[in-house]
Amino acid sequence: MSKPTTPGNSRRRFLAGAAATTGLVAASSFVPTRFAIGAKAPVKIGILLPYSGTYAMLGESITNGMKMRIEQAGGMLAGRAVEYVAIDSEMSVPKAPQNTKKLMSKEKADFIVGPVHSGIAAAMSKIVGARKSPIMIVPNAGHNGITGELCAPNIFRTSFSNWQPAFPGGKVMADDGHKTAVTISWKYGAGIQMMGAGKAAFEANGGKVIKEILMPFPDVEFQAYLSEIAALKPDAVFSFFSGGGAIKFVKDYAAAGLKETIPLYGPGFLTEGVSKAQGAAAEGIRTTLHYAANLDNPANKAFRAAYISAFGDKPGPNVFSVQGYDAGSLLLQGLAAVGGDTGATGDLIAAMESATFADSPRGFWKMSKAHNPIQDIYLREVKDGVNLVKGIAAKALEDPATGCKMG
């Protein structure tokens, strides 16, 4: 293994990029007025993502992905320079309202990109959704409600709803011939929504969930539950964990010897971006997600090569940087359609609504009426530490968007 790269590198690199852009802007304000009329002010993108704490990796990946996409398009949005203002969300819900308002009323951001955390997403969408602008782009948080009952014209999502990666997973489990299952996750928004969707699909296809385990978030002491699962002897286990919890769950599950007799399924976050750290324990786990590392399309290959050369491979390209990358595409398409006029909110929203993503590393997708991706969900299986695509679990899957009164 190579020595750990200092991650400061990648962050400093993008900050340096931002500084250069700002420098450009500063310079332009000294140009004679005749030019200044033609040159427009930069588009301001406010970012609210975690840069510290357990989910800092997600914030870093998303930011890198988005900036990379815009850099690839010349570093401009419809001919206007770009200025980024990033705030560390610290995964703190109490700080979310004020951070959002800082980006809106102090920084006067044209767009707000964020967050990772569902509770923060709810707080933000309450504030942003009540107004016409700015436009908010959610690059991760899967809370079904954001493109459901909380949906709003100026809220878009480039990631997924919790329902999306989980529902096909339940069906896959039934299709693999399993009759009974235990679900296990954390007792918080994403865990509950994903387990609910997986269970619904599993039972609709003839399976039966015999026990639903929801453990306190972010507890990672799984032994008691693993012993319980062993005693229940289900055909399969359906689970959602992410980050450090996912690593530990998968390793503990294998160390308890359960993997041999009770196969593990789940939304792809179980093994996404962490399968290397899980090592042999993750081999053979089948998950469903809107992305996989070895997706055979030119856009994905180009994306991965460019990402690794820009930011290294720790953490390398993953589903989060893809979501950020597509947020960048969404910005490019929207602003191109209105010639960079961020004031034309109505036209801008219409353009973003009809955006299509043919160049996305995850494969083609487009926006639904509720502003959530209509996307393929892939069946993946871990082999040698890599999530390999085994097929498409659900083609052009659209979230039911329950409660959304838009469109």
Partner 1 sequence: MTMSRPTMALLLAVLAGLFTFPFYGGEFYVEMMAEMMILGIFAMSLDLLIGFTGLISFGHAAFFGFAGYMLAIVTPESEPIAIWWALPVCLAAVAVAALVIGWFSVRTSGIYFIMITLAFAQMMYYYFNENQDLGGSDGKFISWDPMVAIGDWQLLDLSDLTTLYYVCFGSLIFVYLLLTVMLNAPFGQVIRGIRANENRTRALGFATFRYKLVSFVIAGTLAGFAGFLEAVRTDFANPAYLGWHESGLVMMFVILGGMGTLYGPALGALILGLLKSEMQDYIERVNLVMGFFVIAVVLFLPHGVAGLVERLGRPKATDDGEAAP
Partner 2 sequence: MDIATFLIQVLNGVQYGFMLFLVASGLTLVFGIMGIINLAHGAFYMFGAYVVYWLTDYTGSLTLGVLLGLPLVIVLGLVIERFAISYLYKRDHLYQVLLTYGLILILNEAQLEIWGTNFYSVPKPDLLSGSIPLTENLDYPVYRLFISVVCLAIVAALYLVIGRTRLGMMIRAGASDREMAQAMGINISRLFAIVFALGVALAAFSGMIGAPISSVFPGMGDQILIISFVVVVIGGIGSVKGAFIGAMVIGLADTFGKVLVPEFASIVIYAVMALVLLWRPQGLFGKA
Based on CB atoms, which residue is closest to partner 1, 218 or 346? 218
Taking the CA atoms of 377, 381, 385 and 386 in sequence, report the sign of the dihedral they define: negative
Q: Which of residues 149-188 bind partner 1 (CB under 8 A)?
A: 187-188
Backbone φ and ψ for 230, nearest 5 degrees, come out as -60, -40
Closest CA to 63 of 7, 122, 25, 106: 7
- For residue 310, report the phi and psi dihedrals to the nearest 5 degrees: -85, -40
Query: Residue 338: helix, strand or coil by DSSP?
Result: coil
The total number of residues written for the chain in this structure: 407
7 belongs to the binding site for partner 1 (CB under 8 A): no
Where helices occur in 29-117 by DSSP H, the ranges are: 33-38, 56-72, 96-101
Residue closer to partner 2 (CB basis): 257 or 403: 257
State the binding partner of 137 from partner 2, partner 1, none, CB within 5 to 8 A by kind: none
Q: Is 98 one of the binding residues for partner 1 (CB under 8 A)?
A: yes
Q: How far apart are CA 315 and CA 305, in angstroms?
A: 13
Q: Both tokens of residue 235?
A: 């055909």
Applying CB under 8 A, does 218 fall inside the site for partner 1?
A: no
Is position 187 an interface residue for partner 2 (rule: CB under 8 A)? yes
Smallest distance from partner 1 to CB 348, Å = 23
HSE of 352 in the Cβ direction (CA atoms, 13 Å)? 30
Among 97, 70, 92, 102, residue whose Cα is nearest residue 83? 70
Span from 95-103, 108-116, 240-248, 350-358 in contact with partner 2 (CB under 8 A): 240-248
383 in helix, strand or coil?
Answer: strand
405 lies in the site for partner 1, by CB under 8 A: no
106 or 187, CB closer to partner 2?
187
Contacts of 267 (CB under 8 A, 6+ apart): 165, 166, 169, 194, 198, 240, 287, 288, 289
- 27: contact with partner 2 by CB under 8 A: no
**Residue 146 Cβ vs partner 1, minimum distance, rounded to whole Å:** 10
Q: Which of residues 310-329 bind partner 2 (CB under 8 A)?
A: 314-315
According to DSSP, residue 107 is labeled S
By CB under 8 A, is residue 283 in contact with partner 2?
Answer: no
Binds partner 2 (CB under 8 A): choice among 60, 376, 381, 399: 60
Radius of gyration of the chain (CA): 21
Residue 3 binds to partner 2 (criterion: CB under 8 A): yes
Question: For residue 104, what are the CA distances in angstroms to 63, 77, 90, 119, 122?
Answer: 19, 19, 18, 19, 16
106 interacts with partner 1 by CB under 8 A: yes
Among 25, 41, 73, 192, binds partner 1 (CB under 8 A): 192
Q: Pairing relation of β-strands 111-113 and 373-383?
A: unpaired
Q: How many CB atoms neighbour CB 34 within 10 A?
A: 7
Dig out the tokens for 378 from the structure: 């892939």
Least distance (Å) from partner 1 to the CB of residue 317? 23
143 or 290: whose CB is closer to partner 1? 143
Q: Does position 291 bind partner 2 by CB under 8 A?
A: no
Q: Is 220 in the site for partner 1 (CB under 8 A)?
A: no
Confirm or reject binding of residue 6 to partner 1 (CB under 8 A).
Answer: no
Name the residue type at position 211. Answer: K
For 87, the token pair is 């705030």
Binding region for partner 1 (CB under 8 A) out of 120-128, 172-180, 352-360, 362-370: 120-128
Q: Which residues bind partner 2 (CB under 8 A)?
A: 1, 3-8, 51-54, 56-57, 59-60, 187, 213-216, 218-221, 223-228, 230-231, 233, 243-244, 247-248, 251-252, 255-258, 260-262, 273-274, 277-279, 314-315
Q: Which residues bind partner 1 (CB under 8 A)?
A: 11, 15, 52, 87-88, 92-94, 97-98, 101-102, 105-106, 118-119, 122-123, 126, 143, 145, 187-189, 192, 216-217
